[in-house]
Amino acid sequence: MNAAQLPGTSLSGTVSTAQPESLPALFAAQAARTPDAIAVVEGGGRAVDYRTLDTAAEQVARFLRAAGAGPGTLVGVCLDRGSDLVATLLGVGRAGAAYLPLDPSHPQDRLTALLTGGGAAVVIAEPRLAARIAPPGVQALTPADIDATGLADAPFAAPDPAAVVCTIFTSGSTGQPKGVQVTHAGLAGRIAWSVRKHGLDADDRWLFKTSAGFDAAGLEIYAPLISGGRVVCAPEGAERDPRALLGAVADGGVTVLQAVPSVLRLLAEESGWAGCDRLRLLFSAGEPLHAELVARLRQVAPGPVEVWNTYGPTECSIDITAHPAEPGQESGPVPIGRPLKGMRVLVMGTGGSLAPKGVAGELYAGGTGLAQGYAGRPDLTAERFVPDAYGPPGSRLYRTGDLVRWNTDGVLEYLGRLDDQLKVNGVRIEPGEVEAALTAHPEVTGAVVVAFTAADGGRRIGAAFTARSRTGSADLRRHLRTRLPDSHVPSLFLPLDALPLTANGKADRKAVTELLDETTAGGQDAYVAPRTPAEQQVADVWAALLGCEKVGATDDFFALGGTSLQLTRLAARLRAAGVTISMRGLFSATTVEAQARLIDAPAADADALTAVPRTGELPLSSGQRRLWVLDRMNPGSREWVAPLILRLPAATPVDAVQAALDELSARHEILRTRYQERDGEPRQVIGAPLPVELRVTDTGREELAGRFEEQFARGFDLAAGPLWRALLARVPGEDHVLLVTLHHIACDGWSTVVLERELRELCAASAENRAPQLAVPGLQYADYAAWQSKRLTDAFLAGELAFWRAALDGVEPVELPADRPRPAERDSRGAVVPIRVEPELFARVEELGRAHAATPFMTLLTVFATVVARYSGRWDVPVGTPVAGRGRPEVAGTVGFFLNSLVVRCALEGDPTFEEALGRVRAASVAAFSHQDLPFDRLVDELAPERDLSRTPLYQVAFDMHSEGVTSVATGTADLTAFAEAWTVAKTDLSVFVGRSADGALEGVLEYATALFDEATVVRFKNHFVRVMEEVTARPGVRLSEVALLSPEERTLVLDVWNATGTGLGDASVVRRFEEQARATPEAPAVSFGDASVTYKQLDLRADQLAHHLRGLGVRPHTPVGVLLDRGPNLLAAFLGVWKAGASYVPIDPSYPAERIASMLETAGAAFAVTQEAYE
C-alpha cells in the first residue's frame, strides 16, 4: 500500500512494550518470533537456532517437572560452556525451579560443599563430574539422562517476581562461601535495562566467556537471547588468555564484550584487534576503571566502541549503576554513574546519616534488584539487608561495604572498599590510588599493590606490575614521587609477565601478597656506629631486647623486628636505666638516633628580652627565616602579601594619610627592614625612614576589586625593599578605602591591629590639629629576633619536640573530597568565600562554649573539625591554627612577624556527642597553646623531614578566630566582597578566618585552593559549617554521626531527584495520549516540514483513515506491519495508523539494500507494509 495515496500526514509516537516478568518467558517469546535465527554458537562453530534451543529447554522443563521440581526447588547445574548449559538454565526456570550455577573447573570438594550449602535437590553435571560431586541425597544427572519422551507438556506458568531464579555463591569474609538468592524480577530487570538502553537486537553477538558461577554470566547469556541476538561461546580457557579472547571476539563477529579492567588492560596490549571491527559495546565491571585504560582501548579498537563502567554486587542482580566513559575524560577513575531503572541508591555516613554531595560514605542500594538474602544465613541476611529508613514501609537496602560519593554532577564516584585499606608504618593507604599512579607510567600495563611481610618481618608496601619493556624500580620510584607522597611509594617492585587473576578474572591480591612475601625488600642502610653516649645507651638496650649482634645509629626499631609489645619493654628498660621517656615519643622516634634525642635534652633557657646593639649583624627570627626560604623558592610571590583594609573619613586629606604612613615607618623598624644574604645566611638590614609609597586612585565601587587585585599582584623584593605600600581609593559618596599591603615577613594579624590603631590616631590627630596620643615605641622586632635565636637552644627544642612528637604521633593528612586530582606540587592559587553567622546564632555558640568552660575559638573549632571529619570520613582531624607568639609582655605593641603555627589534633573517634567532642578539643587546644614556642619549621623538620610537595606539612586545613577583629581582611561587607573577588592565594587546602563584627555577628572568609575545589563546593562546606552550628546549639548531646548536614533541599536531591529512575505515565497508551492532545488543540500545528505544516486534527484524521484501511485488509491485533517511508509526515502518519489498527509496526530504513529489507520483513513475519511509490 502506498502512503502517498492517503491525504494528510501523521506524527510518530513511542512504542511502549510491556515486558514479560521472567527471562524464560522473554526467551520463549523471542524463539516464537525468530525460530530459525541462530541463538548459540559453540566452540568449533556449531550453531544452534532458537527453535532447537527452545525445544531443548522445554525437554529439561518437562523432565524436571515430572521429577517433582518446581517453585522452591534448587537445581545444581555444572556444565561446560555451550548450548547444553544454556538450555538447562532456561529449562530450570521454565519448570519454575531455581538453578545453582557451578564452575566445572573448581575443586570437586568445593562443588560438593556448595550443593550441600545451597540445599540442592538435584544436580545436572558433565558425565565426568556428576557422580563425584553429588552429596548424599542429591540426584546426579547428565544431559544425556534428560529424556522427556512421553512426558506431559510443561505449560509455562509465570513465576512470582519475588521468587528465587538462581542462587549464586560468593566468597565470604569468614572463609565460607555465601549463597545469594537472586530473584526473577531482579535479574530480568537488569537484563531488560541493557536491552533497552543499548538498543540490543538481532545483529548483536555477545561473547559468553564468564564462568557460569558468577552473576555476570547471566548478562552474557540472557541479554542476546531475549533480543534476538547470538550467544558466542568462548573456547575454554580463553577468559585467561588475552590472545585467545581477542581471537574469539574476531572469529565470532562479537559486537558486545564485558570484562574486568584487569583483563581489559591485557587486551589493550594485544595485537589482534584488527579482526574485532564489529565490536561496538564494551562493558567494564568488577574493578575501578580508569580513563587512561579507556583511551588505550579506543586507540587499539578498529572502529568506534562505546565503553560503559558498570557497578554492582551479586546481591543486587549484577549491577546497581552504570556510566558511559566520556571521551572528554582523559585521566582518573571513571564514575560508576547513577542507578539503573528500578534501583535506588543512598550514600550514608556513620549512624545512617545521608552524606552530602562530595562527602564519602557507604553505598546502600535498594529496588527491584535486591536479592532475597543469603541461603540458610538469616543472621548474615539481617546484617547486610537492612530496613530502608528513607523508603516506604517494608522496603530494604543492601549495605555494599563500598565507599563512594556523589560528585558535583550528581554522579557516583567509587572510592574503594571500606575494609580494603592498607596500613603500613602507621599510614593508611588506598591501594587503588597507588595502582592508578603506577599504571599512568607510559610503560606499565597493569599493577597490584598490597602490604607484604619482608624478610625482616616488617610490613611494607609492595607492587607487582607488568610492563611493555624492562622497567626498573628506580624509574618507577621517580615516577611515583611526582604523584604520591613518599609514604605511598612501594618499597619493592616485582615485575611479572602477567598478573595473577582469580577465577572471575579479577586481580588476585592474595597471590600477589604471597609472591612479595617470598621476596626481600632489602636490608638496613649501611651501618652507622653510635656516635654519642645516649645513642650507645639506646643501641645496647635494643641489642639485648631484639637479640641483635650490633645496632647502628640509623637502624629502625620495627625494621629490625621490633613490635609494639617490645616497644613497651624498651621503654621499661630505658626507665630502669634512669631515663625518663614517653611511650608516645618512642612510637614516633623509631631509630636509635631519634630515641637518643628524646633522652638527651637539657633544661630550657629563660634569658630576659632586652634591646640589642644595631652595630653587629642582626639575625632573622625562625618565622622570618621560614618565609625568607619560601620567598627564595618563588620570589615576589603574592602568596606572602598580607593585606590591611580600613575606612577613613572622606574628608581626610591625602597629605594626612601620607604623613601617617611615614610616621609609622619611623616608629617601626620592621617596616624599613630589608633581608640580604651574607655568606649564605640572611641578615636584617634596617634602613633610614623614607617616604612610603601611596598611590591615590578615584574609582567606582564596582572597580574596587580590580584595584585590590593590582596591589596584591605586585609582590615584594626582600633584598631590595621596601616591603610595604599603600593604596588610597576614593569612592564617590563613600568614605575612603585605604589598602595597605605588606610582606608577611614584616607583619602578622596582631601587627595589623597595631598599625590600624596607630593609623587612625595619626589621621585623627592631623584632622583635629593636635599631637597624636601614641605610646613611645619600646622594643623593636630585631630585639625579639636576637632574643629568640639565643633562646632556641638544643635543650629547649628537645623539650618542646618531645611534647609534639607525642601529640602528633601517627597523625595523617586530611583528604577532603576534591573536585580535581591533587597536583604533584602544591598550587598556591586560591580564592575566598565570605561567611557571616548572624548575631543570634553566634550568641548561642558562645553560650554553648561557656556552659562547657570552652572559648568561642574552641567551640567553633569543634564545629569545623566535625564538618571536616564528616566530609573526609576520618575522625582524627589535625587542624592548623595561628598563634600570636607574643608571650612576652615587652612585645605587645611591636610590629613584626611573631606568628607561629600550631596543630590542634581534634580526636573525634568513637562517635562522641558534641559535648564530649568539645571537651576533647578543649583539652587538645590547651595543651597545644601551652607549647606554642617551638617554631613550626623546626616541628616540620622533625616530624615531616621527607616533604610531600603536593600538600602543606602536618595540617591541610586551618582555623583562625581573630580576637581583635578581622582587620587584616576588611572592615565592612562591601569591602569584604571586593577583597574576596581580588584575593587569589590559598595557604592550605581550606582555611577559615573569622572574627566578631561590630554588630555581634561572626564574619570572615573561607580561603580555599582553586586547584582542588570549585567555589560551589566551598559554599556548600560553608553552609554545612553553619548548619552544624545550628544543630549542636539546639542539641548539644547529639552524636557527631547524627548531626544533620543536609538541608531539606539537599535531602530531596539525594533521596528523590537522583533516584528518579521511574516515570508516571499512567495506563494510557501513546495513541490515546495523542488523541487527547488532538481533541484539546485540533488546529495547532503538529508537524512542520519545509514551509508547510499539519494540524493535530489532520493528523488524527489521516491516522484513522490508515487504521480503517489496514483493518479492511485483514490486519489484526499484534500483526506486524512494515513501514518503509522517507522521513516526513507520511512516516509519522503510518506509525499512528498502524497503532490505531491494533497492530505493531516494523520501521525500516529506505536506505537499506532490498535483500536486507526483505529479510527484515520475513524475520518479523510482516505480511503487510506501508510504503511509497519509489520503493514498491
Residue 606 included in any domain: no
Q: What's phi and psi for 234, nearest 5 deg?
A: -75, 145
In this structure, are 557 and 642 located in the same domain?
Answer: no
CA 243 to CA 567: how far, in whole Å? 53
Q: What is the pLDDT of residue 565?
A: 40
Residues 6+ apart with CB under 8 A from 1010: 827, 829, 830, 831, 984, 986
In this structure, are 553 and 680 located in the same domain?
Answer: no
The predicted-structure confidence for 441-484, as pLDDT tens digits, reads as follows 888 988 999 887 754 455 678 899 999 888 877 688 778 866 66
CA 400 to CA 382: how far, in whole Å? 13
8 A C-beta contact, residue 1104 and residue 1133: no
> Closest by alpha carbon to 416, among 353, 328, 509?
509
CATH code of the domain covering residue 768: 3.30.559.10
User: For residue 1093, with 0-12 CB atoms within 10 Å meaning exposed, 13-18 middle and 19 or more buried, which class applies?
Assistant: middle
Residue 1049 included in any domain: no
Number of residues that make up the chain: 1176
Q: What's phi and psi for 233, nearest 5 deg?
A: -80, 125
- Beta-bridge partners for 140: 123
8 A C-beta contact, residue 509 and residue 416: no
In this structure, are 772 and 662 located in the same domain?
Answer: yes
8 A C-beta contact, residue 1055 and residue 363: no
Q: What is the pLDDT of residue 291?
A: 92
Q: Which strand (E) or helix (H) includes residue 167?
A: strand 164-170
CA 717 to CA 637: how far, in whole Å? 9
CA 332 to CA 326: how far, in whole Å? 12
**C-alpha angle 1125/1130/1132, rounded to 5°?**
95
Q: Which strand (E) or helix (H) includes residue 57?
A: helix 50-66
In this structure, are 775 and 697 located in the same domain?
Answer: yes
CATH code of the domain covering residue 551: 1.10.1200.10
**C-alpha angle 1163/1164/1168, rounded to 5°?**
115
Residues 6+ apart with CB under 8 A from 577: 537, 541
> Closest by alpha carbon to 1010, among 816, 820, 880?
820
Residue 889 included in any domain: no
CA 858 to CA 1170: how far, in whole Å? 79
CA distances (Å), origin 185, targets 76, 411, 571, 737: 21, 25, 63, 69
Residue 403 included in any domain: no
In this structure, are 542 and 633 located in the same domain?
Answer: no
The predicted-structure confidence for 178-189, as pLDDT tens digits, reads as follows 899 999 999 999
HSE-up (13 A, CA, CB side) for residue 626: 17
The CA-based diameter of the chain, rounded to the nearest angstrom, is: 122
CA 397 to CA 370: how far, in whole Å? 8
Q: What is the pLDDT of residue 879?
A: 96
In this structure, are 586 and 699 located in the same domain?
Answer: no
CA 79 to CA 86: how far, in whole Å? 9
CB atoms within 10 A of CB 445: 18
> Closest by alpha carbon to 1041, among 919, 875, 826, 822?
875
Can you give the three-state secondary structure of 294-310, one letter per residue? HHHHHHHCCCCCEEEEE
Q: What is the pLDDT of residue 680?
A: 79
Q: Which one of 786, 809, 826 terminates a domain?
A: 786
Q: Which strand (E) or helix (H) includes residue 100?
A: strand 98-101
- Asked whether the CA dihedral 535, 536, 539, 545 is positive or negative, the reply is negative
> Closest by alpha carbon to 237, among 360, 104, 114?
104
Q: All 3 cell numbers of residue 1150?
A: 529506505
In this structure, are 659 and 556 located in the same domain?
Answer: no
**C-alpha angle 864/867/873, rounded to 5°?**
130
Q: Which one of 557, 583, 598 terminates a domain?
A: 598
CA distances (Å), origin 833, targets 424, 585, 981, 1000, 1014: 38, 39, 9, 20, 11
- Is residue 80 helix, strand or coil? coil
8 A C-beta contact, residue 112 and residue 130: no
In this structure, are 682 and 777 located in the same domain?
Answer: yes
In this structure, are 632 and 692 located in the same domain?
Answer: yes
Stretches where the chain sits below pLDDT 70 are 1-21, 153-156, 171-176, 419-430, 454-459, 474, 481-487, 503-504, 518-527, 556-569, 572, 575-590, 600-608, 887-889, 945, 963-983, 1063-1065
CB atoms within 10 A of CB 327: 11
8 A C-beta contact, residue 476 and residue 440: no
State the first-to-last Cα distance of the chain, in angstroms, to the nearest integer.
9
> Closest by alpha carbon to 716, among 627, 647, 644, 654?
627
In total, how many domains does the chain have? 3
CA 23 to CA 165: how far, in whole Å? 9
Strand order in the sheet with 1168-1171: 1144-1147, 1120-1124, 1168-1171
The single residue listed with the C-alpha cell 568445593 is 110
Residue 175 included in any domain: no
In this structure, are 644 and 703 located in the same domain?
Answer: yes
> Closest by alpha carbon to 901, among 634, 675, 626?
626
CA 61 to CA 65: how far, in whole Å? 6
8 A C-beta contact, residue 759 and residue 692: no
8 A C-beta contact, residue 283 and residue 263: no
CA 262 to CA 240: how far, in whole Å? 11
Residue 841 included in any domain: no
In this structure, are 630 and 551 located in the same domain?
Answer: no
8 A C-beta contact, residue 75 and residue 123: yes
Q: What is the pLDDT of residue 466?
A: 92
In this structure, are 742 and 639 located in the same domain?
Answer: yes
**C-alpha angle 29/341/304, rounded to 5°?**
80
Question: Does a cis peptide bond (omega within 30 degrees of 0) precede residue 485?
Answer: no
The single residue listed with the C-alpha cell 555477545 is 206
- Is residue 636 helix, strand or coil? coil
Q: What's phi and psi for 641, nearest 5 deg?
A: -90, 125
> Closest by alpha carbon to 1131, among 1111, 1149, 1114?
1149
CA 455 to CA 458: how far, in whole Å? 7
CATH code of the domain covering residue 1156: 3.40.50.980
Give the range of the structural domain holding residue 666, as residue numbers without chain letter. Answer: 622-786
Q: All 3 cell numbers of residue 299?
A: 586507540
Q: What's phi and psi for 1088, nearest 5 deg?
A: -115, 135
Residue 635 included in any domain: yes
Question: Which amino acid, one-letter code, is at 1050?
Answer: E
Taking each helix axis as running N to C, give the angle between helix 704-712 and helix 973-982, from 0 to 180 degrees, rounded to the nearest 10.
Answer: 50
CA 916 to CA 908: how far, in whole Å? 9
CA 801 to CA 333: how far, in whole Å? 41
Q: Which one of 732, 761, 786 terminates a domain?
A: 786
Residue 1142 included in any domain: yes
Residues 6+ apart with CB under 8 A from 661: 692, 694, 726, 740, 759
